[in-house]
A and B are shown apart, each in its own frame.
Chain A
Amino acid sequence: MSTIQLSGVQKGFGATSVLSGVDLTIEQGEFCVFIGPSGCGKSTLLRIIAGLEDPSDGDIRIGGVRVNDLEPAKRDVAMVFQSYALYPHMTVKQNLEFGLKHQKLPAAEIDKRVAAAAESLHLTPLLDRKPGALSGGQRQRVAIGRAIVRKPKVFLFDEPLSNLDAALRVKTRVEIAKLHRELNSTSMIYVTHDQVEAMTLADKIVLLRPLAGQEHLVSIAQVGSPLELYHHPANRFVAGFIGSPSMNFIAGKVAALGDGGVVTDVAEHKLNVAVVPGALKAGDAVTLGIRPEHIELGSGSLSGEVVHVEHLGEHAYVYLNTALSNQPLVVKSARHDIELGSRLRFSLPTTSLHLFDRDDVALPRLVGKGRMAAQLMELSAGK
């Protein structure tokens, strides 16, 4: 009904192009998060969907209808701006009402919607204040309230939490998730560069990235659920972007191909990776990847020297200098007794490793179905 489809959407400002051929479908009721490095075109894409910006090429459909030439007002979207865009001379109540007053709604209905939105966003005591007399968090809630009272088919949020402090950010994040549950048939598109927001809120994450060699041209790196992006990143960029601290990358070579995956050669060590080899050949240059939380400390055939430890209370990040690469490996550990300069043994579990070919494209992992075979391989390699 209100599925949003983008096909081949391109955008340039004058001579510089920003977006290159974006294809994307956002289902009705879905919570879709656009994420990517600063300046990569997230706001531009959102503004194209809102109708504030015209695409240079490509089609936008909402509910199957092409809306390229439709005024923003006719698209039935509501937007929460990065800068809030509150009307400075109006009170909170007037701000909430203003978008409704020209519609032919009965006054009672307007009052009801405003009161309900104010109640759910805890704005009732502030209704007579002007935006200048509100804190950042309160302004942000007014901006959300102004979108809610419209009852749109699609909500567009442009980094709504970026001006809030950490505590308020978590609180508002939960409130936005709650709001999405309550309005379950309303789609939401949410721009952020905070991956925790993306992981916690999204049904679908759209990760944008600059094209290699053309810093200004942006395309979609991967679309998928948060866990898909986390467990099955499509390429090295996604793997490095999602997760904090980011994935460790180790350069290697293909030593042999097997049923249970690929045997790689990294600095004299043979490491097995449970992936579908595809077109890989022995001798190809590859990059291995492993997340800090998946490296197992304490035993194994590999070892490294502790060069730095970050204690975060619940767990610690240990930086290990190893023979595998000249970058230290970051390892997440629950232990707090690790001393600088000590040597630790560790292993890189076959099923947790990611493998990227020389074009940085990920090879499909065998997690799940290939696990048994992979474990067998690890046993045989350990001998």
Chain B
Amino acid sequence: MSSESLSLHGRARRRPADAAEPVSSLLRQRRRQAWLLVLPALLVLAAIAGWPLLRTIWFSLTNAQLADLTQSQFVGLDNYIGENGVMRDPAWWSAVANTLEFSVVSVTLETLLGLGVAILLNTPSRVRSLLRAAVLVPWAIPTIVSAKMWSWMLNDQYGVINVILQQLGLIDHPLAFIADPDLAFPTIILVDVWKTTPFMALLMLAALQMVPSDCYEAARIDGVPRWRVFRHITLPLILPGVLVAMVFRALDALRVFDLIYVMTSNSRLTKSMSIYVREQLVDFQQVGFGSASAIVLFLLISMFTLGYMVFSRRRMQGV
């Protein structure tokens, strides 16, 4: 819409003065139509996202308690930068560090593995469509279910994984994958990778299939080695798609909650930002303080998103 109205605008300006009048009224009419069309979406967004956000911002500036939201006083930025503010809480910063580490490691692993799976799925074979459906199963299972399933399988007393590893002779005593502070974090990341790689693989498969096949044929006739074809043709052409997939995943990972909550609900070592916020709001009944940390989480994710938007816009203009 915007590019169309831009070009209309340009044309209108180039027109001689006598022709300018009808075009500009047409332009105005188009603008109005555009606004009318997005208005319902804007209203819904304002109701379901804007209003709660505003209320959360308001709460974050008060000392509200969950028990009685009406009895609250305005405390300014105390919840943020006051003596007991979220920015001064080491537990918050450890949650931030955990979340960032989780996001970076899991998104990286999922991207690499997803690309590998996508390439496998993209090579012609008879079972390809079956594989394509099968690979989606982990993604289709609700996180709560798969998290519970994995915690049972990984249990140090009755978990099947410990049994298998022991029988294979890889370990001599059962490992407490979830309870052991050194193992809990890698375990959570592995389960997340198991769950989300299919999603990444499918997004990348879509990108792979957009690469025109005649480019590959041209390279084949010219005798370009496979890895060079991948590096110089496939990768550059799927990169925009891969980036979008990574951003989607990163946004998701920064808000990670359910997996960690189910597997290691209150371990400080694996606490993410979302877990921290919920703990403040629900367990400690600190609506004001919890809202403040939720807003900080919101700002972090918005900064990430804005950064991506600026970056991708610059890329678009570069092309």
B237 within 8 A of A: yes
Determine whether B225 belongs to the interface, using a CB cutoff of 8 Å to chain A: yes
Judge whether A88 is part of the interface by a CB distance below 8 angstroms.
yes
Name B220's contact: one of A73, A90, A132 (CB within 8 Å): A73
Q: Assess the B215–A85 pair: CB atoms within 8 A.
A: yes
In the bound complex, residues from chain B placing their C-beta under 8 Å from that of A52 are: 217, 220-221
Q: A85-B215, A98-B232, A102-B228 are in contact. Are A78 and B220 (CB under 8 A)?
A: no
A interface residues, how many (CB within 8 angstroms): 27
The number of inter-chain residue pairs (CB within 8 angstroms) is: 63
Bitwise, A59-86 to B at CB < 8 A (1) or not (0) is: 0000000000001111001110101011
Interface hits, B118-172 → A, CB 8 Å: none
A71 to B224, CA, bound (A): 11
Contact, CB under 8 Å: A78 / B221 = yes
Q: How far is the CA of A348 from the CA of B215 in the complex (A)?
A: 54
CB distance from B288 to the nearest CB of A (A): 52
Indicate with 1 or 0, residue by residue over B218-229, a CB within 8 angstroms of chain A CB atoms.
111111110010
C-alpha gap A50/B217 in the complex (Å): 10
Contacts of A83 in B (CB 8 A): 212, 214
Given contacts A88-B237, A89-B237, A98-B232, A81 and B217 within 8 Å (CB-CB): yes
Residues of B within 8 A of A51 (CB): 221
Smallest CB separation, A95 vs chain B (Å): 9
Interface string of A330-342 (1 = CB under 8 A from B): 0000000000000
| B binding-site residues for A, Cβ under 8 Å | 212, 214-215, 217-225, 228, 232-233, 236-237, 319
* Extra 10 A-B pairs, beta carbons < 8 Å, given A78-B221, A87-B233: A51-B221, A52-B217, A73-B222, A73-B223, A77-B221, A85-B217, A86-B215, A87-B215, A87-B218, A102-B224
A-B contact pairs, 30 of them (CB 8 A): A52-B217, A52-B220, A52-B221, A71-B220, A72-B220, A72-B223, A73-B222, A73-B223, A73-B224, A78-B222, A79-B217, A79-B218, A79-B221, A81-B214, A85-B215, A85-B217, A85-B218, A86-B215, A87-B218, A87-B232, A87-B233, A88-B237, A89-B236, A89-B237, A99-B218, A99-B222, A99-B224, A101-B228, A102-B223, A132-B319
Using a CB–CB cutoff of 8 Å, the interface residues on chain A facing chain B are: 50-52, 71-74, 77-79, 81, 83, 85-90, 98-99, 101-103, 130, 132, 146, 150
